[in-house]
A and B are shown apart, each in its own frame.
Chain A
């Protein structure tokens, strides 16, 4: 039983490196693209959330047109007004939450 649990934990840790979309009203295509960008940015700047956010913002601006806002962090609260169809709130890597909106 204990072994099984351990295995489960391990697999959980491994599994946690994918982006988990919590809330989004983007089109599927945009959403996937955004998730990909977040993945790349957060992997590249694992230790620097600010840089990661910057990168996500720039990439999103480039691909879908400015102005995008990006928040990347571990613990925060927010209330935003966004243009409909342009919000994505997702978790990544088991401890990072990113919110992208226009």
Chain B
């Protein structure tokens, strides 16, 4: 099969080349010419060969034997424990392979197919035999033909023969068909036999098929879900460093140490519970104060709702009838302040707080010596809560007078019936006084009729003056350890000493009822006595007074400096009279006869010519000198005439209200109608003047007429006289 080159044919080829040389000589010359111009490059290892060597013919033989395959190869077999010949690989090399679809007729597979097609394989065999015979005959014929042809033409190409062969098959087919036709009868005969072989089966056509499918209804899908409650979660965060760990261990160690110590102490039998006992108490107090605060707010709210009409009156109602009455006014009663425990007491003093306009202090004591009432109280009421006092300071003795510090509105000083004075810091406690005079030595030997805070000392210490029935004016300084007292003056009456029981002589002391410090000059003060005189004194002189006014025939109840002109002061007395004085003028400028004992008189803070007084028949009198110099512009009963007496009154600094105290422990607040508080109108020429100047001018104008003599001659200086 492998192609072989016959060596004998090669020379003939060469010969033919030589023969061709002559024809191509011209072409060669061209090539030579072309090659001469170029030097051929040869590799260095080019083998030099001679012409004979070059011309030598080396024959190449191709065989079907692969020389690479080793012959008689053996390999060691462990099973047999000997060398056995290894299987040879073979000399065949597969280059291309393709499975064909054709079957050999006499193969088993073909036979099977025959049966399936319903043909008898035996018959086929017969046919094949016949065909063979025919073919043989044909072959003979062909050979005969060939022989003729060979004879006819000597060099006939094989191709031609092939062409004849190609032409032959149609003839053969025809012959076959003919044979089939011939055998047609036989087929008919053999049909029953064929049926025996089985029904003819159709072979599957691999290239023609169809797909069949069916779609069923899709079930509708439904989702159902439930959710459970997640477990409770919380977040926690911290930052930790080694130092922090160390610190916490240290702290823990300290706690443990403390515990150990406590255990030790317990073993020793010492009660270590003091520390623990304190804390709940403190906590309790803290809690209480909080509850107290909120309760207080609630109480105020309730009160606001209860007294809403009064509150509205207080804020908005002005007596409309004032427009028609020219020179008269009224007072409108508002709240009444009472405290259950002090219903039998007399209001001995009233004072508005200088800082909180709605807060006022009330002293409960008694003035009727024949009917003493046990105990006393200082109550601080606020307009916001008429039902109960905001602060209550209970005392054993009757409280006669009160004063609130201007700078520190929580510092309140009171004077008592027993002659002692007390200072309360209501910020800290109402139960215990912050300062208290010594009940034996440092006290007045008589009722303390009035206390007044003085200007603070240069080093900031608080101090106050007090006057008592023993004729002394004391100055008290609030030191760290307690109250330090200095007697400023001891007043004696200007009469001959009275002989005592055991032959000694006694100077008769004056009993001081009231004191008023000069609002501008801190050294000057006025004191009124039970004898009815008013003394003008100076802090600088302890032995004598500067001036003496023979003011009244009965005890002086109250002195008040005019709020605008400090040279003018007013005094009232049990002798039914009110007098207005000018400093250094021994005669009063005005005298008013009220017709009953005058308990209290006060200048109004908003006008230089308005003052009000209360009498023991329970009436309030309001005067405006600018309107009427002879008659009060308002007289109104505050309490019933038969039962009660009014004792004290106080103007509010900001609001047009006055609080009036009576002897049944009740404080009434009244509102002044517009006619009682007419502001000054500036004259047309001097519109730019402020209210203060206008008020001063108003008073001066009024007094100018009354002054007799118009220029004042100062009396002799008694102090100098004394010095001589």
Contact = CB atoms under 8 A, between A and B. Distances in A.
B239 A81 contact: no
Contacts of A83: 231-233
A91 B248 contact: yes
Interface in B203-257: 231-242, 245-246, 248-250, 252-253, 256
Interface string A66-97: 00000001111111111110010101001111
B513 to A, nearest CB: 70
Given A20-B249, A95-B245, A96-B245, A77 B232 contact: no
Contact of B252 (A20, A74, A81, A82): A20
B234 A84 contact: yes
Chain A interface mostly: strand
A89 B238 contact: yes
B236 A87 contact: yes
Contacts of A96: 245
Nearest to A80: B236
A99 B253 CA distance: 21
A27 to B, nearest CB: 15
A78 B237 contact: yes
Contacts of B253: 12, 15
B233 A78 contact: no
Given A12-B253, A97-B240, A81 B245 contact: no
Chain B interface mostly: mixed
B315 to A, nearest CB: 56
B236 to A, nearest CB: 6
A16 B249 contact: yes
A15 B241 CA distance: 19
Given A82-B233, A83-B232, A83-B233, A23 B238 contact: yes
Given A12-B250, A91-B245, A101 B236 contact: yes
Nearest to A79: B237
Contact of A12 (B231, B235, B240, B249): B249
Interface residues of B, number: 20
Nearest to B230: A83
A78 B235 CA distance: 10
B232 A94 contact: no
Nearest to A84: B232
A84 B233 contact: yes
B240 A76 contact: yes
Contacts of A89: 236, 238
A101 B537 CA distance: 85
Contacts of B256: 15
Contacts of B236: 23, 79-80, 82, 87, 89, 101
B245 A97 contact: yes
Given A15-B253, A16-B249, A94-B245, A79 B235 contact: yes
A75 B240 contact: yes
A94 B235 contact: no
Given A22-B238, A75-B240, A94-B249, 18 more contacts: A12-B250, A15-B253, A15-B256, A16-B249, A23-B238, A76-B240, A77-B237, A78-B237, A78-B238, A78-B239, A80-B237, A83-B231, A84-B233, A87-B236, A89-B236, A89-B238, A91-B248, A94-B245
Interface of B: 231-242, 245-246, 248-250, 252-253, 256
29 contacts: A12-B253, A15-B253, A20-B252, A22-B238, A22-B248, A73-B240, A74-B241, A74-B245, A75-B240, A75-B242, A76-B239, A77-B238, A78-B237, A78-B239, A80-B237, A82-B233, A82-B234, A82-B236, A83-B231, A83-B232, A84-B231, A84-B232, A84-B234, A87-B236, A89-B236, A94-B245, A95-B245, A96-B245, A99-B238
